């Protein structure tokens, strides 16, 4: 504990100097009492490297936590072992729950409880779900926005009353809208400024105008936000997705992103989480280039993991180009630096947001190519060309071969994969939900297209029909997920790229092939990104007829020493 205390104090002093040490002493006293008053077992080190994550909205997935509990067997059968719950905390729901009004309370409707339910009733109902998930060896992480709150949060309600209110300094207020002029507008096309005029002044926000940014220059904001995470550690949550992490600290004359003080804040969060329950996952949501994201791993003392945002659009580009180059370039050391041994990338094909094409991590050329190829309807456009609001099945032409190929690429590359709910059975864009939420929120947010409810009765019928798109997709994805789950090499191993050569000796870029190696296991992975059959040679040759993990025999011509792969096909081979 002494080492933890010293680390916490070091980071505090880096932010605030010798000021506010009385607040720090009070906080460490509170933290020590919390840690000793509960029996909280530490988690296994680096458990997240063996995770296969399933991301879902509780209400859209199956109404509430009782409904989700009923479907835990479905999720187990699919093969996932970690649930990422998209925002579940109390919220007016103007931004799908990322506008939090109470950080220590789950929305009553998700728990099947009336609005009048007590905090204790809600905690009990949520713990009941956690226990059911943990009994099935499913870990649970959830979103927590640490950069901002809802404008209906009690802190902000007090803050906006007048300039002398004790909570005024919990947020960033100004007499005008000229400060932090170099901070970009993130929701371009949805917001015109980072400042919002209120009766008592202007307040700063990086996202929607009903999401005021917190002021971490005030040490009380830091301690109160950390206490929120510690509260959920005590309830049994296994980790947190730290939403909008690059924007925590603001500094005049900068773009207010990835500042040194932001990293110190993250180190403080991590030190406290380690104090209470070591190996509680802290996952960085940083829409940045890998060279910036890796800084959120620190020296293994910031986030355990971070999203590899640039890889996602490059997987789509690779499929559109029918070439391995976008993927190989993105994962090369010149784009993706080495990370600490304990850290991990989280990878994904789709998520609750748009297929992001921010110039932060794609070039103008890449953005134009991907947008032209995949934005097939005007209403899919998001943020004036900076993204595409479409589900995986819509992007890939409802073609089960393309969808399975995309999953195979994601599931075999380094990192921890995330499956967005419904993509495993080719769920489509939901136009009714989009219209409903646009009318309700007053914001034409096309990301609502990629959300929407699951119709379980219809899905059961579709999965029972082996010819349906849902069944043809689900059966292949589930096989891959379950196979991956039993091979730690995918989550922990190194990657060695191979070149495929045409019979004339030229490199065949249509083939994405590599070896994954960990301990004594070696796995050879082959993907044909082309819509045409491909015949090629590898520098390694088989000693016997190869059969992949799914029982498919490789078409190998022994005399010619060539392999022929069908369009959009893949092999996972044990060597």
> 545 pLDDT exceeds 70?
no
Residues assigned a catalytic role: 243, 285
Q: How high is the mean pLDDT of the chain?
A: 94
Beta carbons within 8 Å of 180's beta carbon, 6+ residues apart: 194, 204, 250, 252, 256
Closest CA to 89 of 237, 192, 205, 201: 237
Architecture of domain 47-149+219-485: Alpha-Beta Barrel (3.20)
- Pairwise CA distance, residues 107 & 95, whole Å: 14
Q: What is the pLDDT of residues 484-522, one digit of tens each?
A: 999 999 999 999 999 999 989 999 999 999 999 999 999
Q: What is the mean pLDDT of residues 2-9?
A: 82
- Pairwise CA distance, residues 194 & 203, whole Å: 8
Query: What sign results for the dihedral spanned by CA atoms 246, 248, 249, 254?
Result: positive
- Compare 187 and 495 and report the one with higher pLDDT: 495
Bridge partners of 536, per DSSP, are 563
In this prediction, residue 199 carries a pLDDT of: 94
Give me the residue spans of the domains in the chain: 47-149+219-485, 150-213, 494-574
Beta carbons within 8 Å of 573's beta carbon, 6+ residues apart: 523, 524, 525, 526, 546, 547, 548, 549, 554
- Output the six-digit token pair for 115: 């609005």
- Output the six-digit token pair for 123: 């905690």
Q: What is the pTM of this model?
A: 0.95
Q: What is the pLDDT of residues 97-140, one digit of tens each?
A: 999 999 999 999 999 999 999 999 999 999 999 999 999 999 99
In this prediction, residue 543 carries a pLDDT of: 60
In this prediction, residue 189 carries a pLDDT of: 81
In this prediction, residue 287 carries a pLDDT of: 82
Q: What are phi and psi of 222, to 5 degrees?
A: -60, -50
In this prediction, residue 391 carries a pLDDT of: 98
Which pLDDT band holds residue 96 (cuts at 50, 70, 90)? confident
- Compare 483 and 186 and report the one with higher pLDDT: 483
- Output the six-digit token pair for 117: 């339910």
Q: What is the pLDDT of residues 285-301, one digit of tens each?
A: 888 888 989 999 999 99
- Compare 290 and 85 and report the one with higher pLDDT: 85
In this prediction, residue 358 carries a pLDDT of: 84
CATH 2.60.40.1180 fits 494-574, yes or no: yes
Beta strand pairing status for 53-56 and 416-420? Answer: parallel
N-terminal to C-terminal alpha carbon distance within the chain: 46
Bridge partners of 142, per DSSP, are 85, 240
DSSP 448: G
In this prediction, residue 109 carries a pLDDT of: 96
> 331 pLDDT exceeds 90?
yes
- Output the six-digit token pair for 371: 């947008």
Inter-axis angle of helices 364-374 and 311-321, nearest 10: 60
The answer to whether 313 and 362 are in contact (CB under 8 A) is yes
> 2 pLDDT exceeds 60?
no
In this prediction, residue 542 carries a pLDDT of: 66
Which of 97-111, 190-204, 441-455, 519-533 shows the lowest per-residue confidence on average (mean pLDDT)?
441-455
Domain 150-213 is in which class?
alpha beta
Which pLDDT band holds residue 3 (cuts at 50, 70, 90)? low
Q: What is the mean pLDDT of residues 175-203?
A: 94
Q: What is the pLDDT of residues 153-179, one digit of tens each?
A: 999 999 999 999 999 999 999 999 999
Which of 279-283, 399-403, 443-447, 565-569 shows the lowest per-residue confidence on average (mean pLDDT)?
443-447
- Compare 179 and 4 and report the one with higher pLDDT: 179
């Amino acid at each position: 504990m002494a080492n933890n205390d010293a680390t916490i104090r070091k980071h505090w002093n880096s932010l605030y100097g010798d000021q506010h040490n009385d607040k720090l002493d009070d906080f460490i006293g509170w933290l020590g009492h919390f840690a000793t008053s509960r029996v909280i077992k530490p988690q296994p080190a680096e458990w997240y490297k063996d995770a296969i994550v399933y991301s879902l909205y509780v209400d859209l997935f199956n109404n509430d936590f009782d409904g989700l509990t009923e479907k835990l067997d479905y999720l187990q059968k699919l093969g996932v072992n970690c649930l990422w719950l998209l925002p579940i905390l109390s919220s007016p729901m103007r931004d799908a729950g990322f506008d939090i009004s109470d950080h220590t309370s789950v929305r009553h409707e998700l728990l099947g409880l009336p609005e009048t339910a007590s905090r204790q009733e809600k905690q009990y109902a949520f713990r009941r779900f956690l226990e059911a998930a943990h009994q099935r060896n499913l870990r649970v992480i959830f979103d927590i926005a640490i950069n901002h709150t809802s404008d209906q949060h009690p802190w902000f309600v007090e803050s906006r009353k007048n300039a002398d209110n004790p909570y005024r300094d919990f947020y960033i207020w100004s007499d005008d809208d000229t400060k932090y002029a170099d901070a970009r507008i993130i929701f371009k096309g949805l917001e015109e400024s980072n400042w919002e005029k209120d009766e008592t002044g202007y307040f700063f926000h990086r996202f929607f105008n009903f999401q005021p940014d917190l002021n971490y220059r005030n040490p009380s904001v830091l301690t109160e936000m950390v206490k929120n995470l510690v509260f959920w550690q005590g309830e049994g949550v296994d980790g947190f997705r730290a939403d909008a992490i690059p924007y925590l600290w603001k500094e005049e004359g900068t773009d207010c992103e990835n500042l040194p003080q932001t990293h110190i804040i993250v180190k403080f969060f991590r030190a406290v989480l380690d104090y209470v329950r070591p190996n509680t996952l802290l996952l960085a949501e940083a829409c940045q280039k890998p060279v910036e994201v890796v800084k959120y791993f620190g020296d293994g003392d910031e986030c355990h993991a971070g999203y590899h945002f640039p890889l996602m659009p490059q997987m789509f580009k690779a499929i559109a180009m029918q070439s391995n180059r976008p993927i190989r370039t993105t994962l090369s050391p010149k784009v993706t630096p080495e990370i600490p041994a304990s850290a991990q990338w989280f990878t994904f094909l789709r998520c609750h947001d748009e297929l992001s094409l921010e110039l932060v991590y794609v070039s103008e050329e890449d953005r134009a190519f991907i947008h032209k190829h995949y934005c097939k309807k005007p209403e899919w456009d998001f943020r004036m060309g900076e993204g595409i609001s479409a589900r995986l099945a819509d992007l890939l032409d409802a073609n089960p071969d393309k969808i399975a190929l995309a999953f195979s690429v994601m599931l075999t590359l380094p990192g921890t994969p995330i499956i967005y709910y419904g993509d495993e059975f080719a769920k489509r864009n939901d136009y009714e939900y989009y219209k409903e939420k646009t009318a309700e929120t007053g914001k034409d947010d096309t990301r609502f297209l990629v959300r929407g409810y699951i119709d379980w009765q219809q899905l059961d019928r579709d999965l029972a029909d082996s010819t349906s798109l849902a069944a043809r997709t689900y059966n292949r994805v589930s096989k891959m997920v379950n196979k991956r789950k039993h091979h730690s090499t995918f989550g922990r191993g190194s990657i060695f790229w191979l070149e495929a050569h045409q019979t004339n000796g030229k490199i065949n870029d249509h083939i994405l092939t590599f070896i994954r190696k960990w301990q004594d296991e070696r796995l050879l992975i082959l993907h044909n990104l082309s819509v045409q059959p491909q015949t090629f040679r590898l520098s390694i040759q088989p000693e016997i007829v190869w059969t992949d993990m799914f029982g498919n025999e490789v078409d190998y011509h022994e005399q010619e020493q060539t392999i022929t792969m069908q369009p959009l096909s893949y092999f996972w081979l044990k060597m």
